[in-house]
Structure 1
Amino acid sequence: MGHAVVLGEALVDLLDTEYDGAPVYRQAIGGGPLNVAVGVARLGGTVQFVGSLGDDVLAGRIRAFLTGAGVGLAGAVTVAAPTALAVATFSGPEPDFRFYGEPPSYGLLDADQLDAELVSGAEVLYCGSIVLLCPATLAAARRAWSLHTGRRVFDPNVRPRLLTGPTALADLRAVVAEFAASAHLVKLSTADAELLYPDQPVESVAAYLRELGAETVVVTLGADGALVASGPELVRVPAPKIEAVDATGAGDSVMAALMADLLADGEPAGPDGWVDRVAFALRVAATVCESPGGATAMPTRAQVQARFPG
């Protein structure tokens, strides 16, 4: 089995909570791509995290967490910046993020710092999320995409609060189209689709991304499961019925499961194979939603099997 490379952000989430009747922030290691990398490792895949990390105590905790989770750091670089923070508030199970840190520690990996050998030798390459809004790391992602000859997977993971300026959304839409056009797999959420392509039903968004060139598109629909566009038909895959405690990392775990299966078993046998794999990925996501936390909630295959036998 080969290795996967996940190119994106790692940061620290500050979760708004209470202790002893007073408001406090609970630290958690975060970042969508970091969650994906940890998820792949937990599901048995060999994975390297590629990105920029700060030069402070928090960055040391990120490194220790990733190493402890079995994620390689050969392609991670240290930059002279404090670790970016994402403050998460909850009105339900879905978190609302506000980001702090300028320049962001996660957006300083440039194309020259990219470990070309690590990227080109990967079986699966993930690019995506908020690093695409950072010019230096967008250039690094473009270089990685061009060097890679295996399976490329892409997740826009849009954070609307970071889209500042009159052209920000249009610029991101162009970047999404650029990466989707040569992607093996694009995974996006309903929220991503609605923000990028307002007034378009998710079925149309999936069809559009496939017309651009994406081989398979998976749109996660929260409690309603996911939409899979791989063959001529769009297929809806239901999610297990659960009581969600914390949806942080659920979408990331879907991508992690699909990547881990690509590493373990290669290409699925036709559109039906993708449906089966998405069904498993939704069981992984359901397991994540039943526990608080994002990266810390990523399950092993044995835990998913125990929770959803059969």
Structure 2
Amino acid sequence: MRDSASSSDRQKPTVVVFGSVNADTSLFVDALPSPGESVHAKRIHRDSGGKGANQACAAAYAGASTAMLACIGDDAGGQQSRTALKNAGVDISGVLVVDAPTGSATITVDLHEAENTIVVDAGANALLSIDRVPMIDAAAVILQLEIPLEAVVAATRTASGTVILNAAPAAELSPELLSLVDVLVVNETELDVVARPFIREGTVLDKATGVEGPHTVIVTLGGSGALIVHDGRHVRIPAPSVVPVDTTGAGDCFVGTLAAHMVAGLTVEKAVTEAVAAASRSTLFYGARGYLT
């Protein structure tokens, strides 16, 4: 495993996020529509998003020196995204403007249950590659799956620090990619997909233990906290009790906060504890980054 806590990293924690940037449109409804059903939105919220950008903002908010490597379009969504990242304290010198519209996400949020459904259009994210936006040295590199899988693999090969992969949206991953990942972060649904080649039945712990390759597997469990499988042992981290209004972006807040605390020298268990607390707090605000305001 790459050392994420060298003395130099502790003096200047650095996180690089190689990933997606989206323009989000959130529609808040009384209940999520069933197939074939139309419902009225009670309110609408437009903001900057994308799993990569959300994670970069969370890492910067948690105190890490953070840079974003991404592709956006030359449009209003792209400009708004650049401004939002910069205002959050993220280095945007690696955010490239390309000939494609900025990625977008349409999010439907249940006002009563705070659950959501999300549909993503990759847009400019589909053009992200190591050739366009080269990887830079960092104590930790965060990746997700809203960008081309080949770009993710290439980034893990060239990354100098701890590789943290948030396998979302869910996809089966090659043994090569998993062998290059230090920390795998998934929710329960994503775990089912990633673990499928290794184990098809069993508990969350069985599946997390069964995934081969990453040194650490972390499963986020929503209001129940998180499960860590690390160094041949496992531990559950409980979540504080909150009454959420919008869970959009909570997983991204978790990943960014986790990386920031890992490069600051915290143990995995302590970093996950901080990440769970931050993700829980983020659900008290509307939008993926409402906690930043």
Q: Which runs of 5+ in 1 are unaligned?
A: 160-171, 300-310
Greater fraction helix: 1
**Match among 147, 157, 161 for residue 158 of structure 2:** 147
AA at the equivalent of 2:167: P
State the Cα distance separating 1:32 from its structure 2 match: 1.2
Normalised by the size of structure 2, how large is the TM-score? 0.84
The whole-number CA distance in structure 1 between the counterparts of 2:71 and 2:228 is 33
The whole-number CA distance in structure 2 between the counterparts of 1:108 and 1:230 is 34
State the Cα distance separating 1:22 from its structure 2 match: 7.1
Partner of 1:122: 138
**Match among 269, 278, 281 for residue 275 of structure 1:** 269
User: Which SS does the other structure have where 1:246 is aligned?
Assistant: coil
Partner of 1:306: none
User: Which SS does the other structure have where 1:90 is aligned?
Assistant: strand
The whole-number CA distance in structure 1 between the counterparts of 2:59 and 2:292 is 9
Partner of 1:165: none
The whole-number CA distance in structure 2 between the counterparts of 1:243 and 1:56 is 36
User: Which SS does the other structure have where 1:53 is aligned?
Assistant: strand
**Match among 293, 297, 300 for residue 291 of structure 2:** 297
Partner of 2:33: none
Deviates more, 1:146-155 or 1:35-44: 146-155
User: Which SS does the other structure have where 2:164 is aligned?
Assistant: strand
Normalised by the size of structure 1, how large is the TM-score? 0.79
The whole-number CA distance in structure 2 between the counterparts of 1:13 and 1:65 is 12
Does the CA-based 8 Å contact 2:228-2:269 persist in structure 1? yes
Partner of 2:279: 285
State the Cα distance separating 1:199 from its structure 2 match: 4.2
- Deviations along 1:226-251, one digit per CA (max 9) or x if unpaired, are 11111322211111111111111111
Deviates more, 1:40-49 or 1:122-131: 122-131
The whole-number CA distance in structure 2 between the counterparts of 1:22 and 1:144 is 39
The whole-number CA distance in structure 2 between the counterparts of 1:84 and 1:280 is 30
Larger relative contact order (Cα-Cα within 8 Å, sequence gap ≥ 6): 2
State the Cα distance separating 1:24 from its structure 2 match: 5.8
The whole-number CA distance in structure 1 between the counterparts of 2:268 and 2:129 is 34
State the Cα distance separating 1:174 from its structure 2 match: 2.9
The whole-number CA distance in structure 2 between the counterparts of 1:195 and 1:244 is 27
The whole-number CA distance in structure 2 between the counterparts of 1:289 and 1:24 is 17
The whole-number CA distance in structure 1 between the counterparts of 2:28 and 2:236 is 36
The whole-number CA distance in structure 1 between the counterparts of 2:185 and 2:140 is 14
- Give the total of aligned pairs: 266
Q: Percent identity?
A: 25
Please give the root-mean-square deviation of Cα atoms over the aligned residues, in Å: 2.1
Taking structure 1 as reference, are residues 241 and 23 closer, same or farther at Cα in structure 2, changes over 3 Å only?
closer
Does the CA-based 8 Å contact 1:151-1:184 persist in structure 2? yes
